[in-house]
Amino acid sequence: MGLPNGVLRELKQIVGGHQVVHEANDLKIFERDGSISGALPDAVVLPADRDQVAAVVRLAARHGIPVVPRGAGTGLSGGAVTVKGGIALQLSRMRRVLRIDPASRTAMVEPGVVNQDLQQAASRHGLFYAPDPSSQKACTIGGNAAENSGGPHCLYYGVTTNHVLGMEVVLADGSFAWLGGEAPDRVGLDLLGVMVGSEGTLGTITRILVKLLPVPESVVTLMAAFPTIETASHAVSAVIGHGILPAALEMMDQVTIGAVEAHYRAGYPTDAGAVLLVEVDGLQESCGELSGEIERILKENEATNLRIAEDPDERELLWAGRKGAIGALGRIKPNYYLHDGVVPRTRLPEVLRRVGEIGDHYKLPVANVFHAGDGNLHPNILFDLRDAGVMDQVEGAGEEMLYAVVEMGGTLSGEHGIGIEKNAFMPWIYSADDLEAMLRVKRALDPAGLMNPGKIFPDPEREPRLTARAGFCAEARWW
């Protein structure tokens, strides 16, 4: 339908004519993020600074127009999809690292700063930013904060919320608010904790103060093969049961190993039922002791082909295979649907067995690559979008896998968010009273419901079912 000409004219006055996209063909690139079949916004606005963000939000509030904050579009739950139309507020021009303070070990950044760019800037001061999503080369700090993103090294270091000290947000009426700060003990309600992970439904992030950590003196990366995914799962529990919390503890099953090894030649044993990547960091002496203890525990749990990366290049190759696994799966099928449930670690063998049974029932191959240390599952349902009716199968399998996770004491998402992918299933884990309490918070901050509407909470205007995505594997061969 588009926005009234008067509104478009005002938007162009705020950000400049070239920074407002409203022609139908130009809008198509913004109709989706890294997930869901999309919905076209009425306009895309690219502000250059926080004052322009506030002016755009105030204009939208006056006219009752929905606003959807958008980062790099790498989100995996549909958080940036404009399901109710309105303005997609594209924040990628706001990409300045405003300051890095080595003394306080903090950085102040704009929301469009790419995660890896912050890493590189911090490294010049002997520091690093811990959260490291697999999309690290593209995803933004603002998007990470909105989704409370995780990553392989969040087992030890914690997810995004553990590293955000404060943020400036533009609320639904266009006013500014600063939440949090550097003080370790803050009185009052934790409104910063409410904002992190709110998926753009409460406000638009314009500045973020994050915690940086010193680069560890030593890093040891181990790879170990196991006969089955069940034995690998038991090894994960054994390591942590001995009081050892590695920096990372990642698992890949045999399907994933074969695809990754064919592309990366990382040295993964293709005859293994599963592979674990384990990493410890810290002082050189303690790393040596911990890695030795981990080797012993893994061997006691049927590990074979134990290998320690000899240098940074070998370590980087091992991790390149893990982080590039999704693209490599295109050697099996061109499309995938990546899930994101979490279960207690002790339930991993049980839930993985159930995931395999569901895949067999629907005659769909499933590849598992996930954060085993914290029970964050990522079963990849592989398929070919050109097959008639395949999306119905994918959605059926995905819903059953998600329900199995909840049945085993787990929850709907570990790091990808709820968005529109899983909002219909929030009643599986929350009562009506729970959901109403959360909605009261949203109504207090966004009375007109204009900030990223239709996300997180069940939407009565949409069919109550899983909204699966048809991702495209980078290594797919179309023949």
In whole angstroms, what is the distance from residue 423 CA to residue 458 CA? Answer: 5
Residues 6+ apart with CB under 8 A from 218: 281, 282, 283, 284, 287, 288
CA 320 to CA 136: how far, in whole Å? 12
| Longest alpha-carbon distance in the chain | 71
pLDDT in 10s for each residue of the chain, 479 residues: 689 889 999 999 999 999 999 999 999 999 988 876 689 999 999 999 999 999 999 999 999 999 999 999 999 899 999 999 999 999 999 999 999 999 999 999 999 999 999 999 999 999 999 999 989 999 999 999 999 999 999 999 999 999 999 999 999 999 999 999 988 777 888 999 999 999 999 999 999 999 999 999 999 999 999 999 999 999 999 999 999 999 999 999 999 999 999 989 999 999 999 999 999 999 999 999 999 999 999 999 999 999 999 999 999 999 999 988 988 999 899 999 998 999 998 899 999 999 999 999 999 999 999 999 999 999 999 999 999 999 999 999 999 999 999 999 999 999 999 999 999 999 999 999 999 999 999 999 999 999 999 999 999 888 788 887 777 766 555 43
What single-letter DSSP state applies at residue 464?
S
- Note the pLDDT of residue 455: 96
The 10s digit of each residue's pLDDT in 263-275 is 899 999 999 999 9
Q: CA 298, 302, 303 angle in degrees (round to 5)? A: 50
Strand order in the sheet with 471-472: 304-308, 218-226, 274-282, 248-253, 366-370, 379-383, 335-338, 471-472
Any idea what the Cα angle at residue 318 is, between residues 378 and 312, rounded to 5°? 135
At which residue do the structure tokens 């290594």 appear?
A: 475
Cα–Cα distance between 135 and 416 in angstroms, integer? 11
Cα first-last separation, the chain: 39
Q: Say if CB 152 and CB 250 are below 8 A apart.
A: yes
Global pTM value: 0.94
Structural domains for the chain: 5-90 (3.30.43.10), 97-214 (3.30.465.10), 218-320 (3.30.70.2190), 324-479 (3.30.70.2740)
The CA–CA distances, whole Å, from 274 to 141, 304, 356, 362 equal 32, 11, 14, 23
Region of 141 on the Ramachandran plot (φ > 0 left; ψ -120 to 50 alpha; else beta): alpha
From the CB of residue 52, how many other CB atoms can be counted at a distance below 10 Å?
A: 21
Which of the 8 DSSP states describes residue 374? G
Take residue 152 and report the two structure tokens written for it.
Answer: 């392989």
Spatial contact of 382 and 329, defined as CB atoms under 8 Å apart: yes
pLDDT at 400: 97
Q: Per residue in 427-464, is it b (16+ CB within 10 Å) or e — as a string?
A: eeebeeeebeebeeebeebbeebbbbbbbbbebeeeee
